[in-house]
């Protein structure tokens, strides 16, 4: 459990920075191609900035605003609307947690955070669609649904390294990026919930997938060809999704980049102590019934709630932590994943598990000279967080005859690595997949080629999860054979190694 808490605490520091408003040209032609009618309402989109062949539809509500009596509750499906949704840009991201501490992301790699000028709100259950202006292969395109990371406390779909326009431009697919509730709003840990629906943030993700399944045809997508992929907390979400919906996943493949739930230990606190602490600081009567405490917090301003969390100081509270993340309810988060793996209680569909060679370098405590403990600390964290959990998840699927691949990324590039000690840090693979690595400076030729090869592989999987990667030349995972796919390892293409090469001690 300490690894999950470390990830949550560290990634929560990747919160929104204060920027000026972005300067972008938004083409809002009212041609039929930029105005789409879904099953519920019409959405006015725009040509995405600097990408003449890519349409963008943002701010699309997949659920009703989670405010008032819906705060801390499961999402309610979006209702029909008569007005046209203004989808020419992103809607607000969900409310962020931020302790204000410096990280390598806040100081040097801001492209992984929310985009400049991005607003936040409790009313944030929206998704965003990038689609080709005109399909090259007809109207039924594969769909890739992206789940962002951020330790379940921060982050959002509006993040520059994660824009989907270049994948769409180069690969003729549709990319959907979703927002979901974070921190206390998505994972309240309240006693009044009685251990039921404890993870509304994860329920948001399912609701978004359902909306895409029912409506993506309007954008030229094929609901029968959807892939769910994500990174960090988004990767853990993808993995959790496979266990939560083993028999009706709606998608046909999964890509988990740097995060699984399979070896984590999740618990349930029936007293709701963390929620109760926040309630006490809001002036709620914590001696009242748990339902009255819950209603009281529901009535308070969202800004007051997050302010208490942001300002919390464990040192002033006898070292007690205050955290809000995934909680075992045995509905979408389970207390025993080993049991579910052994019984095959997961969606038995093609899966890619990917990790980076130095996950710990950017997640451990930050100093310009590297984390305390140096490379040894980085390696130890990487093994515990990324390597072993990925190995277990991949092996569980292989043992059940599921098509599964295992990737390890090693890339280091001048425009993505401000410090040599970072190596292939947590998040470093994202720009490779999205083709956005030139945000901070031009790519090297090898970097361009590596990104294209990387992206082509993800798309091969999305277009044909069963055979796409086999045809691409990647062997299915076997811990005792040359099946580990090493990327960014000095060449643009894959290098293969023994499947369990890095697993000693797991």
* 476 DSSP 8-state letter: P
Burial class (CB in 10 A: 0-12, 13-18, 19+), 135: middle
Asked if residue 25 lies in contact with residue 39, where contact means CB atoms within 8 angstroms, the answer is no
| pTM (predicted TM-score) | 0.94
Given a cut of 90, is residue 3 above it in pLDDT? no
Q: Give the number of other CB atoms < 10 A from CB of residue 294.
A: 24
Domains and CATH numbers, the chain: 2-267+328-498 (3.40.50.1820)
Residues 151, 233 contacting (CB under 8 angstroms): yes
Average pLDDT over residues 201-217: 98
What value does the CA radius of gyration of the chain take, rounded to a whole number of Å?
22
**pLDDT score for 26:** 42
Q: Where does 133-258 show beta strands of DSSP type E?
A: 141-147, 174-178, 221-231, 253-257
Query: What is the mean pLDDT of the segment spanning 179-195?
Result: 98
At residue 352, the pLDDT reads 98
Q: What is the pLDDT of residue 367?
A: 93
Tokens of 420: 């040599």
User: What pLDDT sits at residue 267?
Assistant: 80
The token pair that represents 417 in the structure block: 């690595």
Q: State residue 32's pLDDT score.
A: 60
pLDDT tens-digit series, residues 312-329: 998 889 889 999 999 999
pLDDT digits (tens, 9 = 90+) for 167-182: 999 999 999 999 999 9
Structure tokens at 393: 């998840």
CB atoms within 10 A of CB 67: 13
Query: Taking Cα atoms as reference points, which of 280, 320, 229, 394 lies closest to residue 5?
Result: 320
Spell out a b/e string for 50-64, using b for 16 or more CB atoms within 10 Å of the CB, else e.
ebeebbbbbbbbbbe
In angstroms, rounded to a whole number, what is the distance separating the alpha carbons of residues 391 and 81? 46
pLDDT at 8: 43
pLDDT in tens, 241-286: 999 999 999 999 999 999 999 766 788 888 999 999 999 999 999 9
Asked if residues 222 and 184 have their Cβ atoms less than 8 Å apart, the reply is no
**Contact criterion met (CB below 8 Å) for 278 and 72:** no
pLDDT, position 299:
98
Over residues 6-32, the pLDDT tens digits come to: 444 444 444 333 222 333 334 444 456
**Exposed, middle or buried, 248 (CB in 10 Å: 0-12/13-18/19+)?**
exposed
By C-alpha distance, which of 258, 256, 232 is closest to 242? 256
Q: What is the mean pLDDT of the chain?
A: 92
pLDDT of 180 reads 99
pLDDT tens digits, one per residue of 29-82: 445 689 999 999 999 999 999 999 999 999 999 999 999 999 999 999 999 999
Of 313, 167, 336, whose CA–CA distance to 261 is shortest?
336
Residues annotated as catalytic (active site), given as ranges: 232, 359, 426
Residue 305 pLDDT grade (very low, low, confident, very high; cuts 50, 70, 90): very high
Question: Which whole-number Å values give the CA distances from 118 to 19, 90, 121, 157, 504, in the listed order?
Answer: 8, 8, 10, 10, 43
**CA nearest 389: which of 489, 257, 484, 268?**
257
Q: What per-residue string of b and e applies to 170-181 under the rule 16 or more CB within 10 Å gives b?
A: ebbbbbbbbbbb
**Which of these, 116, 110, 162, 118, lies nearest to 440 by C-alpha position?**
110
Query: Can you tell me the mean pLDDT for 471-487?
Result: 98
Question: For 481-490, how does the pLDDT look when each residue is reduced to its tens digit (9 = 90+)?
Answer: 999 999 999 9
Which of 9-23, 121-135, 144-158, 214-228 has the least mean pLDDT? 9-23
Task: In whole angstroms, give the CA distance from residue 286 to residue 6.
Answer: 29
Tokens of 419: 């410090």
Q: Is the pLDDT of residue 1 over 90?
A: no
Q: Which phi and psi (to 5°) does residue 415 adopt?
A: -85, 0
B/e letters for 412-439, b = 16+ CB within 10 Å, e = fewer, are bbebbbeeebbbbbbbbbbbbbbbbbbe
147 vs 179: CA distance, rounded Å: 8
CA 333 vs CA 241, 267, 294: distances in Å: 9, 9, 22
Percent of the chain with pLDDT over 70: 92
């Amino acid at each position: 459990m300490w690894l999950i808490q470390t990830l949550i605490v560290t990634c929560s520091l990747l919160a929104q920075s204060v920027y000026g408003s972005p300067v972008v040209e938004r083409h809002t032609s009212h041609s039929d191609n930029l105005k789409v009618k879904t099953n519920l309402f019409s959405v006015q989109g725009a040509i995405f900035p600097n990408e003449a062949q890519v349409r963008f539809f943002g701010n699309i509500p997949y659920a009703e605003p989670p405010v008032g009596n819906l705060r801390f509750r499961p999402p309610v499906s979006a209702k029909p609307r008569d007005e046209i949704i203004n989808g020419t840009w992103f809607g607000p991201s969900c409310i962020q947690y931020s302790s204000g501490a410096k990280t390598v992301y806040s100081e040097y790699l801001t492209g992984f955070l929310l985009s400049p000028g991005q607003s936040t709100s409790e009313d944030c259950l929206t998704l965003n669609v990038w689609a080709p202006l005109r399909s090259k292969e007809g109207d039924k395109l594969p769909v890739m649904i992206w789940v962002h990371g951020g330790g379940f406390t921060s982050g959002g779909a509006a993040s520059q390294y994660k824009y989907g326009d270049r994948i769409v431009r180069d690969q003729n697919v549709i990319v959907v990026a979703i927002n979901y509730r974070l921190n206390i709003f998505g994972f309240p840990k309240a006693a009044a919930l009685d251990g039921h629906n404890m993870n509304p943030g994860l329920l948001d993700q399912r609701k978004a997938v359902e909306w895409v399944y029912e409506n993506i045809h309007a954008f030229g997508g094929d609901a029968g060809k959807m892939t769910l992929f994500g990174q960090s907390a988004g990767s853990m979400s993808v993995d959790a999704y496979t266990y939560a919906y083993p028999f009706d996943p709606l998608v046909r493949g999964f890509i988990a980049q740097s995060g699984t739930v399979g070896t984590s230990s999740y618990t349930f606190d029936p007293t709701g102590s963390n929620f109760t602490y926040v309630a006490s600081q809001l002036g709620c009567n914590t001696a009242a019934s748990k339902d009255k405490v819950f209603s009281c917090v529901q009535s308070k301003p969202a800004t007051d709630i997050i302010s208490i969390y942001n300002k919390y100081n464990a040192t002033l509270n006898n070292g007690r932590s205050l955290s809000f993340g995934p909680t075992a309810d045995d509905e979408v988060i389970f207390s025993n994943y080993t049991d579910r793996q052994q019984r095959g209680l997961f969606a038995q569909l093609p899966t890619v598990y990917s990790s980076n060679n130095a996950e710990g370098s950017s997640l451990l405590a930050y100093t310009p000279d590297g984390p305390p403990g140096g490379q040894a600390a980085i390696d130890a964290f990487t093994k515990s967080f990324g390597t072993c959990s990925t190995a277990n998840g991949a092996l569980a699927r292989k043992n059940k005859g599921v098509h599964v691949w295992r990737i390890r990324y090693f890339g280091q590039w001048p425009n993505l690595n401000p410090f040599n000690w970072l190596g292939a840090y947590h998040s470093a693979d994202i720009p490779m997949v999205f083709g956005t690595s030139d945000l901070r400076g031009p790519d090297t030729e090898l970097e361009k080629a590596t990104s294209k090869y990387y992206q082509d592989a993800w798309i091969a999987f999305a277009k044909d999860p069963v055979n796409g990667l086999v045809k691409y030349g990647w062997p299915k995972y076997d811990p005792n054979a040359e099946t580990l796919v090493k990327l960014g390892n000095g060449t643009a293409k894959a290098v293969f190694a023994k499947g369990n090469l890095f697993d000693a001690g797991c």
